[in-house]
Structure 1
Amino acid sequence: MSLITPLYDSLWNEYLVWSALVALFTFGWLYHHSFFYRSEDGENPNIDNLEVGVFPVENDDLKLELAWTIAPFILIVYLTYISWAPLDNIWASPDGGHFGNECVYDAPDYDGSNLYFDPDAELKGEYTADCYHTIEITAKQWVWSFDCGTLEAELCESGFTEADGRAVPHLSLQAGNAYLAYMTSEDVTHAPWFVSLGVKEDVLPGQTTTVWILAEDVEDFLLLCTEYCGDDHAYMMAGVTIHA
């Protein structure tokens, strides 16, 4: 599991709680009014005596209208606010942000990326690193390609592996390191989903997008495309290995 994913655990739970409360209130109100305000004998479908083209001024309630406008607005602003911290961790600036600066491999004090938990972080579940490595991911119908640049094979290596009976691209990363992936597309929109890491990001033609890959656990998993991109979209996958 990605070190970013815990940032969303409490957020996910809170969204579910608020969704349940809003649904309970909304449908409770709906069912109450549907059965309470109905003709007892079932013969009068217009118990409010509404007239076509005439606004029922006597039914207007400014306080109620303000309540159902302001209350949802406040809730939406609140949910947006609490979403910023996890999103900021996903899209953190590469310049001196959560994961330091890009690693300088010939620096005398370089000792790896050193991904670690920050106990003083404001947001529970937040991880940081001394520095990060950069890789490049290119998407095209219907294959992924990886460029490790000048990274040593221990830190990053690309090749091929087998998945679902076919040869697919393979990316190998080292556990305990933070990676910043620069991504682009050669044709249409794609969306790489690092299944076990719990992160994904759109890849757009003519643009460069980024995503943080925080490798902790030693594991193997798939990289899938989650944006429909043509006939072989379902087969656009790659293997990812996080090794010790």
Structure 2
Amino acid sequence: MFFRHLRGRTLSLAMMTSPVDQTVASGARESRSLARALLSAMRPLQAPKNGLVLVPLIFSVNIWFAVDDVSGMFEIVLRALGAAVAFTLLSGAVYLINDLADVERDRAHPVKRKRAIASGDLPVSVATVSAVLAILVSTVISVLISVPLMVVAVVYLILNLAYTFKLKHVAILDVMSVAAGFVLRAYAGYVAIGGPVPGFENGVAGVDIDVSPWFYIMTALGSLLIALGKRRAELK
């Protein structure tokens, strides 16, 4: 009897919920769904690729690590982390632009039609605005770290736009573009921590950063191998 009475009171309270409360709850659910769709479209599982930006920081630890200069160490680490965030946002924007460009083709694909934009979970207008905002925030972060880093970020963006609209349809150039993107990430990490750049004033006071050219060569070869393997798998 008690439980029947309690259930009746619960139902009565639910029925007394105002339309405004129901609208707010519905709006909150839609916002969460939209946020999940946006996050999915920006490929969070691909974000670790931008960890390559931090590799120059790790490889040059013997140069910048100094117990008697904590502020200098903190500045270098902060610059590297900022660059990684900037490139994560930038690569997320690139994925959004790529899905926007291929939305009609993706809708006809048995697997890609489930992507956020192609499925309609993420409206085209929201994806477009989000891509622009991500690019703007990434640019601001980059220029706050250094102008050379901003230049590298712009080159990375241009390369990926060219890949999205043209190069990915051209044999050989497609995999070379992917490899170049990895090299630019690595170079961005070098520039971010104060690596000297011809024609620019760049660096951290009292720290002379230097990264072996072999680092870039191995990055290019490794990423080229991965890109070729991915293309081979797609052709199968």
Asked if TM exceeds 0.5, the reply is no
State the TM-score bracket (shorter-chain normalisation). Answer: under 0.3
- Report which of the two has the higher share of helix: 2
Q: TM-score, normalised by structure 1?
A: 0.24
Greater relative contact order structure (CA < 8 Å, 6+ sep): 2
- Report which of the two has the higher share of strand: 1
Q: TM-score, normalised by structure 2?
A: 0.25
Larger Rg belongs to = 1
